[in-house]
Amino acid sequence: MTKSKKERMKHVPNILTVIRILTVPVILAVLMIPWDYEKRFWIAALLFVLSAATDGLDGHIARKFDAISNFGKFVDPLADKLLVISILTWITAEISANWMTVVMVITVAREFIISGFRLVAAADGGKVIAAGWLGKIKTVTQYIALTAYLLFRGAPQQMFLYWAFFAAIILSAVFSALSCAVYIWKNREVLKEDVA
């Protein structure tokens, strides 16, 4: 691999991450501004899928071209959370059901707890705690659930899309709680206070 190519690819992961953040208000605007009923949900679903696809792509490029940066380490997980939680908040308001509120609370609480752990670990000697496989499954089920719901709103006669959303969002809540518990247990030493 030539140095020039490596230099050209150096900023691509961060650009993709920033694009993911910038698509969030666009998707919300498409969903909230009243216009063609079916088209807006299909467009929102397409934008969401494309944005979610950059999640894995930016990390792959960063590792392949040795383009990992502090900016990327900070902004990438932030972009993922912003994308999911923003659309999930809109769906929670749309459905207006107690069970969906519970899913929302579990999802947000998990992200706060994990972020807190990472902040403490980073402050304590700069330790970086990597995401586990349960967390990755949680993210995939969230992406499937949110995509299925947006497609369902564009084609409400296709009830299988709603049931796909329902199954995936419940699974995502289960994996959120489970991955959080495993994360806390595996990294419990982060909370142990040193005694002089």
Cα separation, 72 vs 132, in Å, equals 18
pLDDT in tens, 118-160: 777 766 665 656 567 888 899 999 999 999 999 999 999 999 9
Handedness of CA 74, 77, 80, 83 (dihedral sign): negative
More confident residue, 177 or 191: 177
pLDDT in tens, 73-105: 777 878 889 999 999 999 999 999 999 999 999
96: CB partners within 8 A, 6+ apart:
none
Cα separation, 40 vs 79, in Å, equals 23
More confident residue, 128 or 180: 180
Right CATH number for 3-189 from 1.10.940.10, 3.40.50.720, 1.20.120.1760, 2.60.120.260? 1.20.120.1760
